[in-house]
Amino acid sequence: MSLTEYRRKREFSGTREPQPGKSLPKGKRAIFVVQLHHASRRHYDFRLQVGDALKSWAVPKGPSYDPSVKRMAVEVEDHPVDYAQFEGDIPKGHYGGGHVARFDHGVWATEGDPEAQLAKGHLRFELFGSKLKGGWHLVRSGKPARQPQWLLFKDKDAYAGMLEADDLLADVAPPPAEDLKRAGKGKPARKRLTEVAAVARPRKAGWAARALKLQGAAKKASSGEAFAPQLARLGEAPPKGDQWLHEIKWDGYRIVASVTKGKARLWSRNAIEWTQKIPEIAMAIESLGLASASLDGELIAGSGTKQDFNLLQGTLSGEKQGSLSLVVFDLLHLDGVDVSGAPLHERKQLLHSLLQDPPAHLSYSSHIEGDGEQAFQLAVDRHFEGIISKRSDRPHQPGRSDDWRKTKSLASDEFAVVGFTAPKGARQGFGSLLLARPDPEHGWSYAGRVGSGFSDELIRQVSKALEKNGAQARPSVHVPPHDTDLRSARWFKPAAVVEVFYRGIGGHGLLRQPSLKSLRPDKKPGDLVDSDRPAKAKGASMKKAANSASAGKQSKSGQEERFRLTSPTRVVFPDTGTTKQQVADYYQAVMPWLLPEIIDRPLSIIRCTQGVGRPCFFQKHQTAGLERVDAVSLREEAGNNAD
């Protein structure tokens, strides 16, 4: 977005309006602001943050909550993001001279690229303010005009009604009398409101009575505070038996919610409040019309099979736009009744009734009873990362236990970042991240390094998370003396947490073929001490458990009998930091699928004896060094035979 026109129209020596160039706060969602502006003519300035600027429209009559009323919105120049904080008077004689008061502000969301939607002439979006809420549309008008004209109107949803912006000015500072006289007062307000609520949903009476019928239920007031969620241990295969129910393992952030006197509050798994960060979820829960409740679920971007963890992180950081939803899978309290002591299957039946017709941004996590293998295969076929299996006959148990178990389709785990190597090639910031896992003997033990799976966005996020840690030359964790490339690495105490895919545990207990999945800002290194692995899989047997999930059917000893690898730590792909050992591990892993496709076929190879990035050559003839490769005689284009 360009702020050239904004700068050209203003003389900043005579106005308090913010100048462009101020660095934007990182890690915050895209905002919106609406300001009541008494300039030469009274109007509302409607602004949406898109990228690093506020896209802006002048709306003479202000937004209307009536979906049938389409208000003209004249597109004006982009404004800097910190203009959202501006209130007060623009001096007479300056561009836009007059009084500016903030009418409403909050975060906003849309599905897809907002710039692409604006270019097409139709932006569908949601606002999460105190006055402007729910779905809205901006549609470009086809009428020729000096400035592009759009139509702003309300979507038909639970917030639609007959209110006008002028009905919501009870808490907006009035302008000076001379501005009011010059610009106009607007239409007489029919109401004097400061906030808008959703149209009340038909409330099913008797939630408390239904909750009291559950086994172990008891009347008890809700604390209204965060509660400790139940956590799963990692399993190698889905548990068997009819006493288990199996749910999708959602790829998002754990969120617990409490409702007190109809108002919802949200927390992360570690009791960090998220109510203001995800207001659409709080609004959706409040629209259920409950007096009190305690809900447990997973925050995802998108819905169903379209969930996207990178989109979730991008939306929360303000770098992307996506629709957020809370998938709810447990209910612990409902309208004055504590149901945490009831069996899970009874709690879920009640929860399913509660979310039979859920509002936008809320959904129910369904399950399969008994057949864990079918549930796991269904998750794999639909590209989920696994399943969570839960004992249906057990009450809620805070913390980690064997009553909940997770089975992953691809091995992944969380590690603390304890250092980095220097970047190579085009990589900026760092080359590879050095990882560690909790170790009962040494505190933390080196687990390997990850240099692939990074997008530019992830590199920026990780770099920001690590920038406050003072690096040093000596390792801060126990490192086996085997990798000479670590001599120039920079180390620090366990800092950020990342989740990494891998194909098993190799020599020295290091990850094989690691690839970064995501940064986990919702977790701290100390959380990793509470391992999700069962006791039998901790410590030395962790290596065995991870090896069982690795691709390929040969044991490590069998691999060593087949070949000896020279210079295993040599980096052969500088851009990703991939070593020769990792390449060999990859080919070993895919061998069961690769070999059947190339059997009885002539094989040609591209050889890069000086490394990737240096001159390579195409080889199809057998030469020294390939004695263990069987050769066949084929007729070439020149007419002669060759091996």
CB-CB neighbours of 379 under 10 Å: 23
The string of DSSP codes covering 168-229 is: G-TTSPPPPHHHHHHH---SPPS---S---PPPPPPPS-HHHHHHTSTT-EE-----S--PP
C-alpha neighbours within 13 Å on the C-beta side of residue 335: 16
Between strands 42-50 and 571-573, the pairing is unpaired
pLDDT digits (tens, 9 = 90+) for 439-454: 877 788 889 989 888 8
Determine the pLDDT at residue 638: 65
How far apart CA 291 and CA 12 sit, in angstroms, is 51
> Hunting for tokens 């490769």 — which residue is that?
629
Give the lowest-confidence range in 257-266, 533-542, 574-583. Answer: 533-542
Going along the chain from its start, the domains and CATH numbers come out as 4-183 (no CATH), 211-408 (3.30.470.30), 412-550 (2.40.50.140)
Instruction: State mean pLDDT over 88-112.
Output: 94
Instruction: State mean pLDDT over 106-132.
Output: 95
Q: Which long-range contacts (CB under 8 A, 24 or more apart) does 271-275 make?
A: 271/226, 272/522, 273/226
Determine the pLDDT at residue 4: 94
The string of DSSP codes covering 458-485 is: HHHHHHHHHTTSPPBSS-SSB--TT-GG
Backbone angles phi and psi of 216, in degrees to 5: 85, 0
> Hunting for tokens 């009870």 — which residue is that?
170
Q: Which long-range contacts (CB under 8 A, 24 or more apart) does 429-437 make?
A: 429/459, 429/460, 429/462, 429/463, 430/459, 430/462, 430/463, 431/577, 432/577, 433/462, 433/498, 433/516, 434/486, 434/489, 434/491, 435/498, 435/500, 435/511, 435/514, 436/477, 436/494, 437/413, 437/528, 437/542
Backbone angles phi and psi of 378, in degrees to 5: -65, -40
For the cut 50, the answer to whether the pLDDT of residue 64 exceeds it is yes
In a 3-state reduction of DSSP, which class is residue 148? coil
How far apart CA 354 and CA 348 sit, in angstroms, is 10
> If you ran DSSP here, which 8-state letter would residue 379 be given?
H
For residue 560, the surrounding DSSP H or E stretch is helix 556-562
For the cut 90, the answer to whether the pLDDT of residue 354 exceeds it is yes
Active site residues: 249
The string of DSSP codes covering 280-317 is: HHHHHHHTT--SEEEEEEEEEESSGGG--HHHHHHHHH
Cβ(87)–Cβ(104) under 8 Å? no
Cβ(210)–Cβ(380) under 8 Å? no
Give, in order, the Cα–Cα distances in Å from 427 to each of 152, 291, 433, 579. 44, 53, 13, 16
Instruction: State mean pLDDT over 96-107.
Output: 95
Both structure tokens of 486: 């670590």
* pTM for the model: 0.71
Between strands 230-234 and 634-635, the pairing is unpaired
pLDDT class of 50 with cuts at 50, 70, 90: very high
